[in-house]
């Protein structure tokens, strides 16, 4: 797949309705409040972390959580106006941070204007064909005079009929506005694994006509990622396979799990060697990674892995301080809290973690092999893991230790004797290859080394 700006990016993910302390419900009549401006105050923090791209969760007019769209053309009044969004993107771009928005195209909320018309005018509505599974011989769970398909049997979320030319035109018109008015740099497609493939092919063609570098990333939980990320559809998808392995390999003392996934995906003959997948340790739908780990210290080798594995790393807002949050069957609120930057700086579970992430971001941005190199497993044990990232001009070895004690690594290195490697993560430490082996006397507990070959 061709080179793209995302390959060299480090993402930050914000759920705006939560972070900006918006009311839980939208009355759809109140005067807009520019809560989005709060994110402008976070820009220096993002720059300090080394962030170069921001993925913003849903922010268009909706009833509640943002994925129940009421209007694709106006920013949710709980967050401000379109002008607020223009101002925010301008400030982010001024800080050299690109902007990716959530594209929620599989379904809308019951307050979506065309669905309102359908409930009022029934068979006479010109929008009957806009929604999937409309059946006037039965009633909906809400008592409507017709049934319809809800996403995942959730009837607050009305499935759009993406085979309809009118629906596609409406969505594409909205995307054109987002690109032209807000000057966005990409879209994350919600529940992409539920979207019609032909719709995504047309969407891809339309988006890349608007802007050749517009990035399209899909939310995909299961399946072969090549079915969605390919030259005629999307540029990338969410790497849920490695999301799980990132934390469970540590929680279960089983680095073999993530090693298997990385080799399957990116090793010699790997399924996704030509893809730049979107890697993450947590997001707005899953437990905070700190809540999935038995030991807070494991955050450090985890993020060492996230920033050095193939793909694009992403940090979920607040997790850079080790915040916890657990999802319940009926409530995502704890995953999507309002946060105060000054309070986090003064009192957080892992006050030293942001500086470590900033160091990892700097290393990644200045190390060609970590962004463009191939992947080869070098060593794996229950609590230790080593791999290399290689290009013709740059070679890096990553050594990870999840144990509670320091350990020694002796790993094979197909390099000439006396080849010198410097530790990018632990300055002033260096090592040499002897007899085809790289001997590293000490990798500290719950830590790592990033060793670069000196040419």
Residue matched to tokens 């973690």: 353
Number of domains in the chain: 2
- 360 and 379, same domain (yes or no): no
- 192 and 288, same domain (yes or no): yes
**Angle at the Cα of 424 from the Cα atoms of 422 and 428, rounded to 5 degrees:** 60
- 296 and 209, same domain (yes or no): yes
CA atoms of 277 and 325, how far apart (whole Å)? 25
- 39 and 168, same domain (yes or no): yes
With beta carbons less than 8 A apart as the criterion, state whether 449 and 426 touch: yes
**Angle at the Cα of 27 from the Cα atoms of 105 and 118, rounded to 5 degrees:** 50
- Domain boundary (369, 398, 420) is at 369
- Domain boundary (354, 369, 384) is at 369
Helix axes 197-210, 165-177, angle to 10 degrees: 30
CA atoms of 57 and 334, how far apart (whole Å)? 16
Residuewise pLDDT in 10s, the chain (455 residues): 346 899 999 999 999 999 999 999 999 999 999 999 999 999 999 999 999 999 999 999 999 999 999 999 999 999 999 999 999 999 999 999 999 999 999 999 999 999 999 999 999 999 999 999 999 999 999 999 999 999 999 999 999 999 999 999 999 999 999 999 999 999 999 999 999 999 999 999 999 999 999 999 999 999 999 999 999 999 999 999 999 999 999 999 999 999 999 999 999 999 999 999 999 999 999 999 999 999 999 999 999 999 999 999 999 999 999 999 999 888 888 999 999 999 999 999 999 999 999 999 999 999 999 999 999 999 999 999 999 999 999 999 999 999 999 999 999 999 999 999 999 999 999 999 999 999 999 999 999 999 999 98
Q: Which sign does the torsion angle of CA 63, 75, 28, 169 carry?
A: negative
What are the helix (H) ranges across 255-298?
A: 255-266, 289-292
- pTM of the entire predicted model: 0.97
**24: buried, middle or exposed (CB in 10 Å: 19+, 13-18, 0-12)?**
exposed
Q: What is the pLDDT of residue 2?
A: 46
- 241 and 305, same domain (yes or no): yes
CA atoms of 46 and 92, how far apart (whole Å)? 10
Q: Which sign does the torsion angle of CA 65, 71, 75, 81 carry?
A: negative
With beta carbons less than 8 A apart as the criterion, state whether 46 and 12 touch: yes
Q: What is the pLDDT of residue 315?
A: 98
| CATH number, residue 15 | 3.20.20.80
- 240 and 382, same domain (yes or no): no
Using alpha carbons, select from 27, 57, 29, 54 the residue that is nearest to residue 40. Answer: 54
- 80 and 227, same domain (yes or no): yes
Q: What is the pLDDT of residue 1?
A: 38
- 418 and 286, same domain (yes or no): no
Q: Write out the DSSP string of 31-45.
A: PP--TTHHHHHHHHH
């Amino acid at each position: 797949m061709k080179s793209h700006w995302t390959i060299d990016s480090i993402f930050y993910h914000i759920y705006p309705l939560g972070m900006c302390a918006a009311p839980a419900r939208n009355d759809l009549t109140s005067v807009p409040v520019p809560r989005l401006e709060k994110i402008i105050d976070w820009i220096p923090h993002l720059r300090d972390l080394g962030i170069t791209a921001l993925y913003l969760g849903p922010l268009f007019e909706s009833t509640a959580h943002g994925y129940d769209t009421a209007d694709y053309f106006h920013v949710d009044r709980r967050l401000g106006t379109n002008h607020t969004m223009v101002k925010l993107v301008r400030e982010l771009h001024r800080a050299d941070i690109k902007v990716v928005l959530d594209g929620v195209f599989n379904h809308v909320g019951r307050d979506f204007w065309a669905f309102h018309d359908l409930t009022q005018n029934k068979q006479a509505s010109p929008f009957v064909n806009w929604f999937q599974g409309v059946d006037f011989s039965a009633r909906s769970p809400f008592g409507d005079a017709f049934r319809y398909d809800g996403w995942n049997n959730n009837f607050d979320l009305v499935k759009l009929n993406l085979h309809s030319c009118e629906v596609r035109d409406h969505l594409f018109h909205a995307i054109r506005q987002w690109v032209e008015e807000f000057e966005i740099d990409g879209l994350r497609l919600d529940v992409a694994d539920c979207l019609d493939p032909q719709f995504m092919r047309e969407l891809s063609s339309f988006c890349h006509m608007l802007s050749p570098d517009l990035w399209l990333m899909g939310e995909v939980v299961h399946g072969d990622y090549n079915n969605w990320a390919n030259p005629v559809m999307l540029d990338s998808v969410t790497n849920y396979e490695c999301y799980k392995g990132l934390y469970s390999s540590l929680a279960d003392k089983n680095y073999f799990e993530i090693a298997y996934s990385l080799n399957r995906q990116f090793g010699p003959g790997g399924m996704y060697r030509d893809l730049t997948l979107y890697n993450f340790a947590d997001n707005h739908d899953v437990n905070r990674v700190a809540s999935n780990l038995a030991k807070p210290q494991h955050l450090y080798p985890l993020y060492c892995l996230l920033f050095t594995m193939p793909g694009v790393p992403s940090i979920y807002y607040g997790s850079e301080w080790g915040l916890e949050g657990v999802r319940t069957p009926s409530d995502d609120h704890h995953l999507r809290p309002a946060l105060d930057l000054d309070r986090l700086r003064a009192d957080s579970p892992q006050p030293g973690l942001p500086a470590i992430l900033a160091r990892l971001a700097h290393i990644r941005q200045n190390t060609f092999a970590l962004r463009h190199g191939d992947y080869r497993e070098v060593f794996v044990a229950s609590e230790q893991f080593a791999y290399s990232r290689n290009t013709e001009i740059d070679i890096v070895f990553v050594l990870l230790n999840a144990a509670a004690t320091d350990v020694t690594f002796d790993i094979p290195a197909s390099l000439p004797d006396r080849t010198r490697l410097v530790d990018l993560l632990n300055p002033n430490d260096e090592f040499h290859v002897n007899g085809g082996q790289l001997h590293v006397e000490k990798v500290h507990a719950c830590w790592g080394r990033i060793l670069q070959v000196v040419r």
